């Protein structure tokens, strides 16, 4: 396992975007809640802390900014008047998360997904998806995706939905920020291209 983590860090340094472009879980998490993944219903089974809710928000960020606190596992869509819509998120494992400021460079409704060459090299089982996975309920990016850009370049990090809602509140992905499908649809509709995203 230590060798795998070292390998991931080396990939990050050698080519950050290629290492994380897939945004899929690095391993299937074990549910500690006692819920069956096949019947997991976020509206019923998600920890109440991670359900979408309006909260007080103070900080330097202007209304319209998205702030992701990876240690808290929350995304804040900052609103006028000292409030924000808060969403529970799943984040990347240690060493795989994006940190810094970016902008939403583009958005996609039921996006397709293709694993990168480096992901297939690390996980040969992903070779079966080398031709891409069309958008739909079985796609790892879920119902919507918003693509993070810096300086006009795709960082290969995404804010997206998930077909594994029980991973919200955990650090299991290859670096992207994931929300339940209901939450990413809500956030997507609120968020224009060009929105500033600050990940801390």
CB 188 within 8 A of CB 144: yes
Catalytic residue among 86, 103, 160, 198: 160
Query: How far is residue 149 from each of residues 91, 96, 141, 166, 193, measured CA to CA in Å?
Result: 18, 17, 17, 28, 10
Catalytic residue among 176, 177, 179, 184: 176
Query: Is 133 one of the annotated active-site residues of the chain?
Result: no
* Cα-based distances in Å from 52 to 47, 75, 159, 179, 189: 11, 10, 15, 10, 14
Q: Is 160 a catalytic residue?
A: yes
Whether 67 and 198 have beta carbons less than 8 Å apart is answered as: yes
Annotated catalytic residues are 160, 176
């Amino acid at each position: 396992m230590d060798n795998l983590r070292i390998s991931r860090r080396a990939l990050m340094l050698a080519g950050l975007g290629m290492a994380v472009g897939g945004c899929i879980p690095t391993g299937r998490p074990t549910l500690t809640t006692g819920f069956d993944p096949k019947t997991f219903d976020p509206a019923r089974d998600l920890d109440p802390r991670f359900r979408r809710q309006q909260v007080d928000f103070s900080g330097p960020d202007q209304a319209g900014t998205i702030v992701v606190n990876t240690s808290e596992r929350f995304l804040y869509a900052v609103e006028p008047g000292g409030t924000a819509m808060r969403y529970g998120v799943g984040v990347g494992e240690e060493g795989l998360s994006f940190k810094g400021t970016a902008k939403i460079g583009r958005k996609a409704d039921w996006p397709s997904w293709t694993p990168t060459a480096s992901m297939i090299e690390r996980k040969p089982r992903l070779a079966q998806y080398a031709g891409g996975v069309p958008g739909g309920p079985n796609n790892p990016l879920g119902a919507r995706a918003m693509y993070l850009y810096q300086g006009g370049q795709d960082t290969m990090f995404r804010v997206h939905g998930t077909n594994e809602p029980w991973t919200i509140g955990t650090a299991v992905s290859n670096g992207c920020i994931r929300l339940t499908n209901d939450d990413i649809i809500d956030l997507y509709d609120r968020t224009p291209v060009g929105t500033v995203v600050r990940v801390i």
